[in-house]
Amino acid sequence: MSGAAPEGPVLSVDHLSVVSRDSKKKILNDISLDFPPRSLTAVVGPSGCGKTTFVRTLNRMTELTHSLRVSGAVRYLGQDIYQSNVNPVLVRRRIGMVFQRPTVFPMSVFENAAFGLRILHESDAEIDRAVTEALVRAGLWDEVKTDLNGSALALSGGQQQRLCIARALAVKPRVLLLDEPTSALDPAATQRIEQTMLRLKEDVVLVLVTHNVSQAARVSDRVAFLHSGRLVEVGSTADMLERPKDPLTEQFITGRFG
């Protein structure tokens, strides 16, 4: 959103590997992938293929678990986020994240959405404006506008998840990582979140982890298929789902494993 739209990819992953320090097992193996502007990339694959670990490397969330070693590069607008003089806090402000289950904090709806702005010490007027905008963009505004000071814990699971999206959007990130954001939600709530994603991809680069191929078909432009820590295939959603090149991909999307 802020600044001029970049020409090249917003985020590019270059020969990324992740090894578990404990078991010495390679969780991700030599992955290279670009995320261009105005795109929604679905990362799909069977359970345990490393897709969650993959998105977590994109904003250095892997660091919060001590036992992973990351090699290769992840470049945000050309800057390698794993370089030693990069501040991970700034990385996470530009590259937001939403998790499988809603992670609202025990505060009011408004304060939840304002969380990222408060820690940036924004002015009250700016926070008011940005929170409203974020709630509108997350598609939650109409449901909560009359009770912004009510506890966020009283919202339904789907509303809580959209509030989490609003919280991530409020700091105006350029990239939003969504780690199976609908896996804990019912079909109606899932549909609302999918509509939100379709609107958001106009100005935020979205990376969606999902185990659900039909969800990938509904919302994504591109699909990346991971299997046993390797990137098997990546391409436009239509190509991947209708004319997969790799037999593994075909088996996965036709539901033969996963």
Partner 1 sequence: MATSTPTGSVLPRDEVLFDRSLRTRWRLGFDRWIGWLLPLLFLVAIVPIVDLVYFVVRAAYPVLSWGNLTNTQPYANQNGNAVGLALIGTFDLMAIATAVAVLLGLFGGIATAEFLSERSAGWVRTSVNMLAGTPSVVVGYFGYFAFVLYFGWGLSLIAGALTLSFFMVPYIFRTVDLAYTSIPRPIREAALGSGARPYQYILKVGTPIAFPQVLTGVFLAMAIGLGETAPIVLTTLPSLLVPSSLNSGVTFLTYLIYDGFNHPSTGPGSNELAKAFEAAFLVMMIVIALNVVVRVFAARYKKRLEGLYQ
Residue among 171 and 213 whose Cβ is closer to partner 1: 171
Whole-angstrom Cα Rg for the chain? 18
Which residues in this chain contact partner 1 in the complex, by CB under 8 A? 59, 61, 64, 66, 89-90, 92-93, 96-97, 99-107, 115-116, 118-120, 151, 153-155, 157, 160, 164, 167-168, 171
- Give the full edge-to-edge strand order of the sheet including 79-80: 26-35, 11-20, 68-76, 79-80
Residue among 93 and 230 whose Cβ is closer to partner 1: 93
Q: How far is the CB of 51 from partner 1 (least distance, A)?
A: 16
Q: How far is the CB of 240 from partner 1 (least distance, A)?
A: 28
Q: How far is the CB of 41 from partner 1 (least distance, A)?
A: 19
Which position has the token pair 């001029």?
4
Residue among 54 and 115 whose Cβ is closer to partner 1: 115
Question: Is the Cβ–Cβ distance between 249 and 233 less than 8 Å?
Answer: yes
Q: How far is the CB of 160 from partner 1 (least distance, A)?
A: 8
Q: How far is the CB of 228 from partner 1 (least distance, A)?
A: 25
Helix or strand or coil: residue 175? strand
Residue among 119 and 238 whose Cβ is closer to partner 1: 119
Among the listed residues 59, 63, 52, 170, the one whose alpha carbon sits nearest the alpha carbon of residue 111: 170
Residue among 38 and 118 whose Cβ is closer to partner 1: 118
- Give the full edge-to-edge strand order of the sheet including 205-209: 95-98, 175-179, 205-209, 40-44, 222-227, 230-236
